[in-house]
């Protein structure tokens, strides 16, 4: 029995070849591709400008794997955390974050994560596999539908800051961004997409070589190798000097101003001396800083910094002419905030 191909794993060129091999004209492949990515068809029967016989042929040779929304939890601040079930029964989470100025989808790129950052619940799950481009794409489609349904407003922004490390799933992340931003897909501007990385120097350089148009955020959290090694094991193979070099390379290649994400922890990285180290790191290239409120993952190892220290930290950077934003956490009561995505509800299907 012939194994059916997942049709959304094929590029347009590959799809053209497959359709030609079935004895169909090449333009049919472009019609099918549009149904898959622009019209978001999840069933061949929805492709109404194709003949019934072609639709039946497609069913014989291909499948369309889709993700399913199994549970949605709404926070008191209206943030919505979604549990998505994949075709292989894996579960990932994606979040809709509504604010007065924007509607943001936070999407996952892996089932679990291999980086084991000390402050992040997702890293405790361990990596199972990379997500395919269509699985990332589907999260955006479904969260956008949710945004329209719940708030009557479409998504304005997408952040790749959910479960997993985007640069360890480079090919599928780039492919998904292409589908999301192209006119043959969702047509969202790449400038409204942010990809966050824990810091893989050679892949940051590759982003520069590929001249990506989306925004880059580096999850730094300490600008001191000893401290960063303690909370982020990835720093042992991608130390601050190598990251600084890669960020300089990226900004020179793309002309962009990346963001340095900095979770501030009580009595760990919240002193003015830490702010000076952060300034020295970021001053080597155009950058801005997001100071992020820490979200507990129940192990009590780290705690939120004192608000006065957070303000003093930000004020010091601002005195150095650094662009600084303090990000207040949203969705903490449903474990939907930064670093809390961990399939905590023990969903069973």
Catalytic residues: 93, 338
Distance of alpha carbon 164 from alpha carbon 94, whole angstroms: 12
Distance of alpha carbon 149 from alpha carbon 126, whole angstroms: 34
Phi-psi region of 334 (alpha: psi -120 to 50; beta: other; left: phi over 0): alpha
Angle, CA 277 vertex, CA 274 and CA 279 arms, to 5° = 110
Sort 321 into a burial class: Cβ within 10 Å, 0-12 / 13-18 / 19+: exposed
Reference 212, options 187, 184, 175; nearest CA is 175
Inter-residue contact 132 to 63 (CB < 8 Å): no
Inter-residue contact 163 to 181 (CB < 8 Å): no
DSSP 132: P
Dihedral angle computed from the Cα positions of residues 40, 45, 48 and 49, in that order, rounded to the nearest 10 degrees: 90
Alpha helices (runs of H) in 283-347, residue ranges in sequence order: 307-319
**How many whole angstroms from its chain centre is CA 305?**
26
User: Helix or strand or coil: residue 274?
Assistant: helix
The rounded radius of gyration (Å) of the Cα atoms in the chain is: 21
């Amino acid at each position: 029995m012939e194994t059916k191909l997942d049709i959304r794993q094929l590029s347009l060129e590959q799809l053209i070849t497959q359709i030609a091999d079935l004895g169909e004209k090449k333009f049919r492949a472009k019609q099918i591709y549009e149904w898959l990515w622009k019209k978001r068809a999840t069933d061949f029967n929805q492709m109404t400008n194709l003949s019934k016989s072609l639709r039946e042929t497609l069913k014989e040779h291909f499948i369309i794997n889709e993700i399913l929304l199994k549970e949605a939890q709404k926070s008191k601040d209206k943030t919505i955390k979604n549990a998505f079930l994949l075709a292989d029964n894996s579960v990932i989470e994606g979040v809709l974050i509504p604010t007065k100025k924007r509607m943001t989808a936070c999407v996952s790129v892996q089932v679990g994560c291999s980086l084991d950052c000390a402050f992040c619940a997702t890293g405790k799950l361990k990596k199972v596999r990379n997500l395919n481009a269509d699985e990332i794409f589907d999260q955006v489609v479904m969260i956008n539908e949710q945004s329209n349904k719940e708030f009557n407003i479409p998504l304005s922004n997408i952040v790749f800051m959910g479960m997993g490390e985007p640069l360890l799933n480079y090919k599928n992340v780039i492919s998904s961004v292409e589908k999301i931003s192209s006119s043959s897909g969702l047509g969202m501007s790449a400038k409204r997409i942010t990809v966050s990385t824990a810091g893989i120097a050679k892949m940051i350089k590759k982003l520069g070589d590929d001249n990506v148009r989306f925004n880059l955020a580096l999850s730094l959290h300490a600008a001191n190798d000893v401290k960063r090694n303690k909370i982020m094991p990835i720093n042992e193979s991608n130390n601050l000097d190598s990251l600084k070099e890669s960020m300089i390379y990226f900004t020179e290649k793309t002309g962009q101003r990346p963001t340095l994400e900095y979770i501030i922890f009580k009595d760990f990285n919240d002193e003015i001396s830490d702010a000076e180290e952060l300034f020295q790191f970021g001053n080597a290239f155009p950058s801005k800083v997001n100071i992020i409120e820490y979200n507990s993952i129940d192990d009590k190892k780290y705690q939120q910094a004192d608000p006065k220290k957070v303000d003093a930290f930000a004020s010091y950077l601002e005195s150095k002419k650094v662009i600084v934003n303090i990000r207040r956490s949203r969705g903490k009561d449903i474990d939907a905030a930064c670093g809390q995505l961990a399939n905590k509800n023990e969903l069973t299907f």
